[in-house]
Amino acid sequence: MSLVESDKATPAPGKLPASSLVSRLVVIGVIVFGVAFLFAYAGGWLTPRALTPTRIADRFEALNGVHPGFRRNHAKGVCVSGYFESNGKGAALCKSLIFQMGRVPVVGRFSLGGGLPYAADSAQNVRGLGILFQLPNGEEWRTAMIDLPVFPVKTPKAFYELLLASAPDPASGKPDPAKMKTFIENNPESAKAFPLIGGKQKSSGFANSSFNSINSFRFINVDGAVSAVRWSLAPLEAFEPIAAADVQSTNKNQLFDSLIARIHNHALAWRLIITLAQPGDTTDDATIPWPHERQQIEVGTLTIDRVESDDTSIARDINFDPLVLPSGIAASDDPLLSARSAVYSQSFTRREGEHKEASAISAAETGK
């Protein structure tokens, strides 16, 4: 048995007739170019209009300009460290070591949404907190949370469209209302999410902000039982609504400076709260909140006792990719999760290779 020419016993074949030569060359061409074509298709070269991580990162750069060494979103921030102390109550839901009773070190980064690293702090800005939990067995749990109650969009496509629709018009310097109107008509779930986001009173600073996982995840316990969950960090600091004095025009870094001063004064703490979905709750749409009566379990306390500048902290070079998860925590069917992972990776790769410019929140500022 042989792969070719199995009907011929003669080892040295004669000259190929011209027609046969052509057809054989065509076969070779079809195979080789076919593989190359499929490769090009898989790599997206044949579908240049498809939405990709590159295009989303490019969009941020088009909106904000390129600021070398900075994150393409949540560019302005300050790094922190501390520890998470688990009370053991999460262990029934999730087999991860993080929920065994005990303490693990964390590093994190507070940030303001947007791609401008030197912009003045503003009351309206989205506040972010990325946390890396370092588990005793070497595993990591990374989470990037924001202070919004829900996310403004359901899909990566809607996210991209919102970036386009909310971009300032070059003529007026303000977003074009017609574009926003079209966006809202095309994305009714966003139309429902906007009032929830706008209706939530912002707190006076980072220290008394809540931070939410936004996306749903799955917890898997030792018996293999799966629960759909979301989590949030609830501050121990008392809530105070933000006032004009909290964002002064004289100090561009007022929100960060106030956070730094508080951490120097005393360690800040947040309770980590797991919200359990009921059957029927939406896990693939981050614009929809779960009902208030859902069971909430306090699983431990996050303590932040050190603050450091982006310029000196290892957290600057950590990608708070929400899908770096320990065994026991898994992604849900929320389409934003994989997209976040992909775009964060794109942003990380770009900034890591660039010359790093000094952070607005310098080491001198965090040392004050």
Partner 1 sequence: MKMDTTKQPNQFAILSRLLHWSMAAMLLAMLFIGVAMVTSLGDYYKLVSIHRPLGIMILIFAILRIINRMMTTLPPFPTTMSQLERKIATASERLLYALMLALPLVGWGMLSAGHYPVVMFGAWRLPPILPANPMLYAALRKTHTVLAYLLFAAFLGHISAVLFHTLIIRDRLLNRMAVWPIRPDKIESQN
For the range 119-123, what are the long-range contacts, defined as Cβ-Cβ under 8 Å and sequence gap of 24 or more? 119/76, 119/252, 120/247, 120/249, 120/252, 120/253, 121/76, 121/247, 121/252, 121/253, 121/254, 121/255, 121/256, 122/247, 123/202, 123/242, 123/246, 123/247
Query: Nearer Cβ to partner 1, position 5 or 240?
Result: 5
38 near partner 1, judged by CB under 8 A: yes
Contact with partner 1 (CB under 8 A): which of 124, 240, 317, 368? 317
343 near partner 1, judged by CB under 8 A: yes
> What's the min distance (Å) between Cβ of 359 and partner 1?
14
Q: In whole angstroms, give the CA distance from residue 268 to residue 235.
A: 8
39 near partner 1, judged by CB under 8 A: yes
Query: Nearer Cβ to partner 1, position 235 or 322?
Result: 322
* Selection from 74, 313, 336 nearest residue 206 by Cα: 74
153 near partner 1, judged by CB under 8 A: no
Query: Nearer Cβ to partner 1, position 219 or 270?
Result: 219
329 near partner 1, judged by CB under 8 A: no
Stretch that binds partner 1, among 17-25, 112-120, 143-151, 262-270 (CB under 8 A): 17-25
Contact with partner 1 (CB under 8 A): which of 298, 314, 367, 368? 314
User: In this structure, is the dihedral angle defined by the CA atoms of residues 289, 292, 295 and 297, taken in order, positive or negative?
Assistant: positive
- Contact predicate 183/163, CB 8 Å: no
In terms of Cβ atoms closer than 10 Å to its own Cβ (0-12, 13-18, 19+), residue 293 is exposed
User: In this structure, is the dihedral angle defined by the CA atoms of residues 350, 142, 164 and 71, taken in order, positive or negative?
Assistant: negative
Active site residues: 74
> What's the min distance (Å) between Cβ of 143 and partner 1?
14
Query: Nearer Cβ to partner 1, position 68 or 188?
Result: 68
* Interface size with partner 1, residues (CB under 8 A): 60
- Contact predicate 107/342, CB 8 Å: no
Please name the residues in contact with 258: beta carbons below 8 A apart, sequence gap of 6 or more: 204, 205, 206, 207, 246
349 near partner 1, judged by CB under 8 A: yes
CA angle 98, 104, 110 (to 5 degrees): 100
Chain residues 49-68 in contact with partner 1, contact rule CB under 8 A: 50-54, 56
Contact with partner 1 (CB under 8 A): which of 17, 18, 49, 138? 138
Q: Which phi and psi (to 5°) does residue 144 adopt?
A: -120, 110
46 near partner 1, judged by CB under 8 A: no
> What's the min distance (Å) between Cβ of 340 and partner 1?
9
Rg (the chain; Cα; Å): 26
Query: Nearer Cβ to partner 1, position 82 or 328?
Result: 328
Q: In whole angstroms, give the CA distance from residue 144 to residue 325.
A: 12
CA angle 131, 132, 136 (to 5 degrees): 140
> What's the min distance (Å) between Cβ of 190 and partner 1?
18
9 near partner 1, judged by CB under 8 A: yes
Contact with partner 1 (CB under 8 A): which of 337, 347, 359, 360? 337
Judged by the rule CB under 8 A, the positions of this chain that interact with partner 1 are: 1-6, 9, 11, 13, 16, 21, 24-25, 27-28, 31-32, 35-36, 38-39, 42-44, 50-54, 56, 137-140, 156, 314, 317-319, 321, 323-324, 326-327, 331, 335, 337-339, 341-343, 345, 348-349, 351-354, 356
